[in-house]
Structure formats: C-alpha cells, structure tokens
Homo-oligomer: A and B are copies of this chain.
Amino acid sequence: MPTFVVEIIFFDRRLTSYMSALKNGCDLSLCFLCRNSLPGWQALAGANRKNLRFKKGAVIFDEGEDIKGMYFVYSGIVKVQRSWGNQKQLILRFAKPGDILGYRGLGDEKKYTISATAIEPVTVCYVDLNFFESMLLINHPLTYQLMQYYTNELQYAEKKMSNLVHLSVKARVAETLLTLNNQFGKSKEGNINVHLSRQDIAAFTGTTYETLFRTMQEYIRAKLIRVSGKKIFLLKEKRLAELAMMH
C-alpha cells in the first residue's frame, strides 16, 4: 500500500522515524521536485537527482557562492538567512520537508544572496541547475507549482517585512513563537517541536539576543510561556496572539 504511506507523509511531513528508514533518500513522492513531476518525468527526475546529507550545523550553501543547483528538502530543518557584517544574521524562513532551497534570480550574477544551514540533520534531493531548467521547460505542472510556491513565499515575506517595521520587538517575539508553533507543531510533551538556539530565535525575530532573552523572560514571568532548555511551551496562545497584534 504505497499510496497509504504517501498520505501519511503528506499529513505529517516531519515523520522522522519513517524518514530514517529511507536509507536511499527520497522515494520520489516527498520532495517538491519529485512530487510535482508527471509520472513520465519522475523517472528522469529520479535519475538526475542526487541525495545529499548534511549534519547539524552544516552549511548547504553560503552567500556569495555560485549557484549550481537546486535543493529540495525531504527531511530535517534548514534555516535560510542573510548576514550583515559577519556577526548579524536575519533568518528569513525555515525550510522543512517539501520546501525548496536555492532559487536563482534573473540577474547576471548567479550567486546566492542567502545562505542555508541545517539546524538538525538534513537530507535533500539535489539537481543540477541546467537539468532543473530543462525540467521547467518540459514539465509544466512543475513550473506551475513552483510559481504558486513562490507566490506564497512572497506573501509570507511581505507580511514579515511589514511586521519588522510596524511591530515592537515584544509583539514580534509573540508572533515568532506562534509562527514556530504553527510551522513545527507540538511534540507529544506539548512543546514547540523544534530545537532552536536563542540566538536563532532572535535572528528569526529580527532582534538581538539580549532583547529576545528579556522579552522571553517577561513572557515566562507573565506565565504566557514555559521554557525548559530548548523546549518552549505556549501556555496562553490567545494572549500571545493579542500581543502579536499590538504595537
């Protein structure tokens, strides 16, 4: 019953126990590329993809590097960020199984303007850029889906941008916590199902470590959240949602 398995993966894409069983990587039904390839092209995609593994902390690609291919996440979590100087980072988004890394712009410069780093062990489908371009020209549903995918990313980016300008750090931290909860869900224990450093949470919020820390302390004191190491429990989501809408 392979169809059944696929359904489960779609329902909870972070089914890591299942993932680890996939010793040979993507089964052609999970990553964006394979998922959106017509049966005829799927074999072609399968033949031209490479399965790559990255351990926690490994840089998948870095700002300034030449763009050579596309990465399709099928297990683990990746942070996508832009740096400034060499200390300050802004995490633009997190990529989970099913997400895409490393689109190229139209500019002449085929260099990454962002970097991608595994924040837990990650496996990806990788395809060469030339192959991918060819795929896009012949595999129309793929192009259509990709267009839709970017549309969504764009809306997400616009919202985030507006938040950065209009909301206080306090509101943004509340927003961050709810977003993480939304994106990663809760573990059995009830904490947000991802382990991030405070540094990374700060970088995702667009603030400094110190300010993030203080704001979180404030929320802990107010019993809106509970924290134990890297486990974060949201105790009053409703109240956090209110705070996320105030200046």
- From B113, B150, B247, A147 is in contact (CB under 8 Å) with B150
State how many residues of chain A have any CB contact under 8 Å with chain B. Answer: 39
How many copies of this chain does one complex carry? 2
Which residues of chain B come closer than 8 Å to A106, judged between CB atoms? 148, 151-152
Q: A137-B144, A150-B147, A150-B150 are in contact. Are A158 and B104 (CB under 8 A)?
A: no
Contact, CB under 8 Å: A155 / B105: yes
Contact among B85, B107, B144, B157 for A136, CB-based, below 8 A: B144
Indicate whether A114 reaches chain B with its CB closer than 8 angstroms: yes
Within 8 A of B (CB), among A126-180: 136-137, 140, 143-144, 146-148, 150-155, 157-162, 164-167
The answer to whether A165 touches B164 (Cβ under 8 A) is: yes
Asked if A50 lies at the interface with its beta carbon under 8 angstroms from chain B, I say no
Q: Are A113 and B159 in contact (CB under 8 A)?
A: yes
Most chain B CB within 10 A, of A90, A92, A114, A162, is at A162
Q: Does A223 sit at the interface, judged by CB under 8 A?
A: no
CB-defined interface of A59-97 with B at 8 Å, one 1/0 digit per residue? 000000000000000000000001011001010100000
Bound-state CA distance A136–B163 (Å) is: 32
Q: Which residues of B contact A92 (CB under 8 A)?
A: 158, 161-162
Q: Does A10 sit within 8 A of B, measured CB to CB? A: no
| Contact (Cβ within 8 A) A151 B103 | yes
Q: How many angstroms between the C-alpha atoms of A147 and B133 in the bound complex?
A: 12
Which residues from chain B contact A114 at a C-beta distance below 8 Å? 158
Residue from B147, B158, B159 in contact with A146 in the complex, judged by beta carbons closer than 8 Å: B147
Residues of B within 8 A of A107 (CB): 152, 155
Question: A152 to chain B: which residues have CB within 8 Å?
Answer: 105-107
Nearest-neighbour CB distance to chain B for A173, whole angstroms, equals 14
Say whether A166 contacts B136, CB under 8 Å. Answer: no
A90–B162 CA distance with the chains assembled, in angstroms = 6
User: What residue in chain B is nearest A161 (Cβ atoms)?
Assistant: B161
User: Counting CB contacts under 8 A, is A206 at the interface?
Assistant: yes
The 8 closest A-B pairs by CB, nearest first: A84-B166, A150-B150, A147-B147, A82-B162, A157-B157, A165-B206, A105-B155, A90-B165
